[in-house]
Chains A and B, each alone.
Chain A
């Protein structure tokens, strides 16, 4: 059993402490917006916020995540109001297949939280998620649009 705080809810989940957080989120908490891509913290599809920090949830155990504030893509919006990154993603038509975009959006939201007006160099350094469709230029444009707003 583990106690996890996900998207503001305290959940008691029947899960072993060494289970990767990704799978506790997907299978035990039932939140499938966070995606599995590699399981070795390479691709970023499973990025969530842990205490506000963009983190690849496949590389964090449930035990390590206990007591921390976890936000997944499902918890990024405030009720019916989408987060500015989600709004920009829709306005700029960023996703192609979209599978990597939950992680991409979470990584971008954390970047903008830290640096509201990131330079291209800031983006290059902070956004290291793999997108096989290759929608990178839309990602960059959308970030700059948000920063300019």
Chain B
């Protein structure tokens, strides 16, 4: 049966897991596809290359390095391998190699990072080659046994047939021999038109356990003798832990120890998490909050607004002609200032990790979007070398970019290190999760458009002011100080290219980095850039007295792929035919993560403040669609995530701290607020784009543009709850 095996949390698995790491290290092969020495899975079945294990019963185990967090990549990647392998899909199962195993084999499984909508697109080539390589070896093994040329053999669903004699065998029967062969130097991948597994909306491989409560998430990990920890980090970012009064809680039920975690946090370790949390709340703590305690949303907004001034320094991300001069001499100008707030990822499962530390070994069980980054965090926090560490990945209760960071992993190891030999599970409360996110960066944007006498757009000045994620998280990726990712969706070229041609264009970023830590929040910089640009496009169309779709189309002649998805959405929603009485439409498009997306919404508005979203249509061109059923879910989910942020989100800062503490102050859309999303997939082939994130960019502007159509009022800041606008 199709099933993704999540690690079983018992002593036996613990020991086997450890042994498997040891075995990998002992052999230490660095040949990607096996080589003469046979690598074996934990159950003894042979690897046919690093990506495929074939069991004697013909079960095919496909290794997955990227993380599954609900986005469906686990199933999609397995489809890509199975397509080339020509195995029986009903006998496919998957497993995660550990980062420790991968490092010990010179990163044979490549990148583990699961962010930037890269899960499929960045590994499709080598995982398909992994499948094809295994197929060639398996067929060769059968041909050798029959003493016939491999070219006379064919394979379908894991059954190999010799054409001449009609003899057949199965992958399971020849796997041992295949594993001893030298892998082919090169393999030819199938033409996409011949795909039979890729491109199908197959059911996910990991569903069954999610319906019975059996799926193990990080929060569910159990190890023998395990204790539980609750933590409080200084609520002001950058502040420190000054002191705490352990004596006040030492006698409380279940409490084992109170530990300092780095310079900034304190944790209570107890028999149960409920006891740990209860004691932590009773623990008197004194913080040294530092200067950041003076920062508020108001002070941040003021500082960012100053960055909109052209006299302030800024990095230029996209430019042609002379926008400033063209604007100065224009017949007509339109100017608007927009803003976008901090957002918390608010994964349903709060951050957590379980760690065991001894002087000889440190192991961690956690949900992570980046197994190798988590592994690096374990090395650093434990002080142990790579061969003494490992990370066991379990299912993520949501990621959205948050679990690409490793702060919670580091904390768990720092706690476990103070209790050698005792497994400790660290779990954040929802309140801690809200207070210590890695927030969607805060920005403002001033846009100025200029028209000639015939209402043609002749210039556009797009001036961002605000926070850079790379400055904080990946400073090595800055280019002479500039954050290239800040221009996602409005970039000159590349995977998030601007989709309009404007004769005089200036796109720039005045970087201002408040103390609140930013992070990669699903869609990242595409979110605000798409809202700013697509809402302002509507403003420009209105100023020119033109239909928003027609106005855009005139600027998109040189951007056929951007235009194709916009057209697909317009056609599906019936843009040229009247909407039902009282219903209004908005439209938006953007490119992000290598894919072209567009969205349109139909809404009605009551009393200017109650919005009902009746219909959403979304189109995407990701080049290739591996699993349309999962792509459809990612598109619809992107609207739920994007519209939740638009209506209910927004994190504000007071006294240096985040004010929102739980879902009562940081709400999320429910089923009654969400219409069906009608998705139109128009994969044009020849490139591989991402799916999980780009669509979120068009969710908010499609609704905001529809709101203008309904009310004549422009909304230029998020969230709507701050303007007393909510769902009907």
Contacts and interface: CB of A to CB of B under 8 A. Distances in A.
Contact of A39 (B210, B397, B429, B670): B429
A102 B214 CA distance: 10
A131 interface: yes
Interface in A63-101: 72-74, 76-77, 82, 86, 89-90, 93-101
Interface string B222-239: 100000100000000000
Contacts of B219: 32, 35-36
Interface string B389-428: 0000001111110000000000000000000000000010
A33 B213 contact: yes
A117 interface: no
B273 A23 contact: yes
B274 A132 contact: no
A40 B398 contact: no
B671 A139 contact: yes
Contacts, number: 176
Nearest to B213: A33
Pick from B69, B72, B640, B641 the residue with the most CB of A within 10 Å.
Answer: B640
B13 to A, nearest CB: 16
B102 to A, nearest CB: 24
Label chain B's interface by main secondary structure.
loop
A89 B213 CA distance: 13
A130 interface: yes
A61 B691 CA distance: 43
Interface in B166-220: 203-204, 206-217, 219-220
B668 interface: yes
B312 interface: no
A95 B209 CA distance: 10
B671 A35 contact: no
Pick from A28, A37, A40, A133 the residue with the most CB of B within 10 Å.
Answer: A133
A129 B209 CA distance: 20
B247 interface: no
A28 B427 CA distance: 17
A128 B207 contact: no
B29 interface: no
B398 A132 contact: yes
B154 to A, nearest CB: 32
A42 interface: yes
B663 A38 contact: yes
Contacts of A42: 662-664
A50 interface: no
A134 B636 contact: yes
Pick from B204, B214, B637 the residue with the most CB of A within 10 Å.
Answer: B637
A23 B204 contact: no
B318 interface: no
A136 B671 contact: yes
Given A90-B207, A134-B641, A33 B212 contact: yes
A98 to B, nearest CB: 3
Given A127-B671, A132-B347, A93 B210 contact: no
A5 interface: no
B633 interface: yes
A40 B663 contact: yes
Contacts of A3: none
Contacts of A37: 348-350, 430, 663
Given A128-B670, A132-B398, A139-B671, A16 B253 contact: yes
Contacts of B220: 32
B323 to A, nearest CB: 38
A139 B640 CA distance: 14
Given A39-B429, A96-B637, A137-B674, A131 B207 contact: no
Contacts of B349: 35, 37, 97, 99
Label chain A's interface by main secondary structure.
loop
A52 to B, nearest CB: 18
Contacts of B430: 37-40
B192 to A, nearest CB: 24
Contacts of A128: 670-672
B337 interface: no
A99 B274 contact: no
A136 B70 CA distance: 14
Contact of A125 (B213, B350, B400, B672): B672
A133 B637 contact: yes
Interface string A116-132: 00000001110111111
A93 B629 contact: yes
B640 A134 contact: yes
A102 B213 contact: yes
Contact of A96 (B70, B222, B272): B70
B71 interface: yes
B641 A130 contact: no
B677 interface: yes
Interface in B653-677: 662-664, 668-672, 674, 676-677
Contacts of A137: 636, 674, 676-677
A54 interface: no
Given A43-B348, A134-B639, A95 B70 contact: yes
A34 interface: yes
A34 B273 CA distance: 15
Interface in B558-608: none
Contacts of B397: 35, 97-100
Pick from A35, A45, A132, A138 the residue with the most CB of B within 10 Å.
Answer: A132
B212 A74 contact: yes
Nearest to A103: B348
Nearest to A72: B213
Pick from A40, A134, A136, A140 the residue with the most CB of B within 10 Å.
Answer: A134
B348 A135 contact: no
Nearest to B641: A134
B346 interface: yes
Interface string A1-43: 0000000000000001001100100011011111111111011
Interface of A: 16, 19-20, 23, 27-28, 30-40, 42-43, 45, 72-74, 76-77, 82, 86, 89-90, 93-102, 105, 123-125, 127-140
10 contacts: A23-B272, A32-B219, A35-B217, A42-B662, A43-B348, A73-B212, A74-B213, A132-B641, A132-B668, A137-B676
Given A37-B430, A137-B636, 8 more contacts: A16-B253, A30-B222, A40-B663, A89-B207, A96-B637, A123-B671, A127-B670, A137-B676
Query: What 6 A-B pairs come out closest when comparing CB atoms?
Result: A33-B213, A134-B640, A97-B70, A98-B210, A99-B397, A124-B672
Interface of B: 69-72, 203-204, 206-217, 219-220, 222, 228, 253, 272-274, 346-350, 395-400, 427, 429-430, 629, 633, 636-641, 644, 662-664, 668-672, 674, 676-677
